[in-house]
C-alpha cells in the first residue's frame, strides 16, 4: 500500500498520532544523537536542546490530542500544523545564522527535517480544512 493510500485511510484523529510520533523521533534525534555528535553536525548543543524541547512539547500536544480525541478536533489540528510551520521557520533561521558552523551532514539533516515537517503540516491543514472528514470515517474519499 502506498504512503498516500495509507494516509487516505487514516481517521483524522490518527493524524495527531503520526505528528506526535514524528515529533518524538525529532526529539530523540536532536536531543540525543545530534548532541552526542555535535562536532560532526556543527549545531551547538544549546540550540539542539532547545529544538528538542520544542519537539517534545509538540509531541506531547499531539499525543494528548490523539488520546483525548476532542470532538472539535479541527482547531487543534490547525494549531499543531501552524506550530510545525513556525518551527520550520525557526529552523531555517538557525541554519542560516549558523551556516558557517554547520557541516554538510548537519545542513542535510535540517533540510530533510524541514521538508518532512512542511509536508506533514500541509497535510494536516488539508485534513482540517476538508468539510467531508469526520471523526469516525475511514472513508478515503475525503482526502482526494
Count up the domains in the chain and report the number: 1
- The range of the structural domain enclosing residue 71 comes to 12-130
**Residue 67, domain member (yes or no):** yes
CA 68 to chain centre: 19
**Residue 143, domain member (yes or no):** no
Pair 43, 99: CB distance under 8 Å: no
One pLDDT digit (tens) per residue for the chain, 144 residues? 676 677 667 788 899 999 999 999 999 999 999 999 999 999 999 999 999 999 999 999 999 999 999 999 999 999 999 999 999 999 999 999 999 999 999 999 999 999 999 999 999 999 999 877 654 444 444 444
**Residue 139, domain member (yes or no):** no
**Residue 137, domain member (yes or no):** no
Pair 74, 93: CB distance under 8 Å: no
Place of cell 552526542: 36
Cell numbers given for 58? 509538540
**Residue 3, domain member (yes or no):** no
**Residue 4, domain member (yes or no):** no
Q: Provide CB contacts within 8 A for 120, sequence distance 6+.
A: 18, 19, 22, 84
Amino acid at each position: 500500500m502506498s504512503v498516500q493510500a495509507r494516509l487516505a485511510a487514516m481517521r483524522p484523529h490518527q493524524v495527531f498520532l503520526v505528528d506526535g510520533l514524528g515529533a518524538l523521533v525529532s526529539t530523540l534525534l536532536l536531543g540525543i544523537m545530534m548532541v552526542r555528535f555535535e562536532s560532526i553536525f556543527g549545531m551547538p548543543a544549546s540550540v539542539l536542546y532547545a529544538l528538542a524541547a520544542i519537539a517534545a512539547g509538540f509531541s506531547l500536544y499531539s499525543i494528548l490530542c490523539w488520546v483525548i480525541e476532542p470532538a472539535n478536533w479541527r482547531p487543534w489540528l490547525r494549531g499543531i500544523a501552524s506550530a510545525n510551520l513556525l518551527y520550520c521557520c525557526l529552523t531555517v533561521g538557525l541554519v542560516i545564522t549558523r551556516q558557517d558552523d554547520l557541516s554538510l551532514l548537519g545542513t542535510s539533516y535540517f533540510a530533510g527535517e524541514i521538508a518532512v515537517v512542511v509536508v506533514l503540516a500541509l497535510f494536516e491543514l488539508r485534513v482540517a480544512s476538508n468539510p467531508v472528514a469526520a471523526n469516525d470515517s475511514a472513508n478515503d474519499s475525503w482526502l482526494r
